[in-house]
Amino acid sequence: MASNNHFFEGAEKLLEVWFLRTEDGQDLRDIAREDWEEVLKTVRCQIISTIKNDSQDAYLLSESSMFVSDRRFILKTCGTTLLHNALPLMLDLAKKKCGLHAVEDIFYSRKNFMRPELQHNMHRSFEEEVIILEKLFEDGAAYCLGRMNGDCWYLYTTNNPDSSKPGQVEPDQTLEIMMMDLEPDAMKLFHKNSIDPAEIAKISGIADLEPGILIDDFLFEPCGYSMNGLLPDGAYMNIHVTPEKDFSYASFETNVSKKSYTNLVKRVLNVFKPGRFVMTLFANMGSQLFSAQENGGSGDHAKLTSEVYPGDTTFEDKIFDYQRQDWQASKFSNYYLTFCNYAKVKTKPS
């Protein structure tokens, strides 16, 4: 195993907070960059660059990404960052600068770490993380999906009931793919001096994952890659790559709206060629994944609502030469969640 001096934890800590909409249209994007910089100092990361569109601001960080829209805040950090330090400061900023007092939904999630002993005490175990979150939020619930002795995924979320009818719910969905044991040849692009950094997205195929995407990316020294992408109507995408062979890891996340993510998942796998991966999909009842069912189709989550789930295409038993190892589905107050774990099928020697 790699020594402490030659190891980087690629698996991210991911925090997403939604505030209740106010009548006077308060907006988290009114918070100044210098205020966000002060928050991020406590997390032990900093802003590298920023892109914006009509819907949201995307911050590329020294350790991953941050997205800010009118009432949603997303912070995703890797390595040994102290993400939980951001929460009380961010909640205070939202209250004082924007008049946003009430949290509608919170999601904190991460894959299990490869080297948890290298994390700060607050992130060394999921149990410790939950203790901190419970001090800030009421009626929270903590979950572990997957194998305790293998690849698993932790989630903490609040249980706020939503009385809205499906047609009144603001559509929301998030697909995340966490990939390990990446093909070394595919990782050569993500080392400094391999090619012009501006060409990485084009040559790797990242630029073709979703048409019309505005990309902000960065190649780290001596290796490592981060990308934020913005699309119309509040959609985003982010990718982070830790290419070192002994602890290779890449993540892909997007909230782009689709009836099925099958083709997008296959395009992502073609870029990184992992040995194994974990995939999660969140969706509320306003998402196209459910409207497909209402229109007589079969979206990725449609069969879940009729309790006839498996069989949809995104989470099929086999994708390329990856075999599904685990599959779990959950229903929360406002969202449905599907979790799957895949590994490349090993061919037996002849």
Quick check: 108 and 13 in contact, CB under 8 A?
yes
Residue 52: what are its φ and ψ, rounded to 5°?
-140, 155
pLDDT of residue 3: 45
| pLDDT (tens digit per residue) in 76-135 | 999 999 999 999 999 999 999 999 999 999 999 999 999 999 999 999 999 999 999 999
Our answer to whether residue 78 is catalytic in this structure is yes
Q: How many CB atoms lie within 10 A of CB 134?
A: 13
Query: Token digits for 156?
Result: 């903490």
Strands 56-61 and 47-52: antiparallel
290 vs 35: which has the higher pLDDT: 35
Catalytic residue among 45, 65, 78, 98: 78
Coil/strand/helix, residue 54: coil
pLDDT of residue 307: 39
Our answer to whether residue 226 is catalytic in this structure is yes
Q: What is the CA radius of gyration of the chain?
A: 19
Residues 6+ away with beta carbon under 8 Å from 283: 172, 173, 174, 289, 290, 300, 301, 335, 336
Q: Residue 150: which H helix or E strand, with range? A: none
Q: Is 19 annotated as a binding residue?
A: no
**Measured distance CA(152)–CA(132) in Å, rounded:** 21
Q: Which residues of 144-175 are buried (b: 16+ CB within 10 A; e: fewer)?
A: ebbeeeebbbbbbbbebeeeeeeeeeebbbbb
- Write the single-letter amino acid at 81: T
Our answer to whether residue 123 is catalytic in this structure is no
pLDDT of residue 297: 45
Catalytic residue among 65, 109, 204, 226: 226
Q: How many CB atoms lie within 10 A of CB 121?
A: 8
- Write the single-letter amino acid at 323: Q
Query: Token digits for 128?
Result: 């410790």
**Measured distance CA(327)–CA(31) in Å, rounded:** 40
Q: Is 244 annotated as a binding residue?
A: yes
Which pTM does this prediction carry?
A: 0.92
pLDDT confidence band for 4 (50 / 70 / 90): low
**Measured distance CA(94)–CA(78) in Å, rounded:** 24
Catalytic residue among 84, 123, 240, 301: 240
| pLDDT (tens digit per residue) in 281-316 | 999 888 888 765 544 445 665 554 443 333 346 778
Q: Is 63 annotated as a binding residue?
A: yes
- The answer to which of 148-162, 214-228, 257-271 has the lowest mean pLDDT is 148-162
Q: What angle do CA 151, 177, 68 make, to 5 degrees?
A: 120
Residue 208: what are its φ and ψ, rounded to 5°?
-100, 5
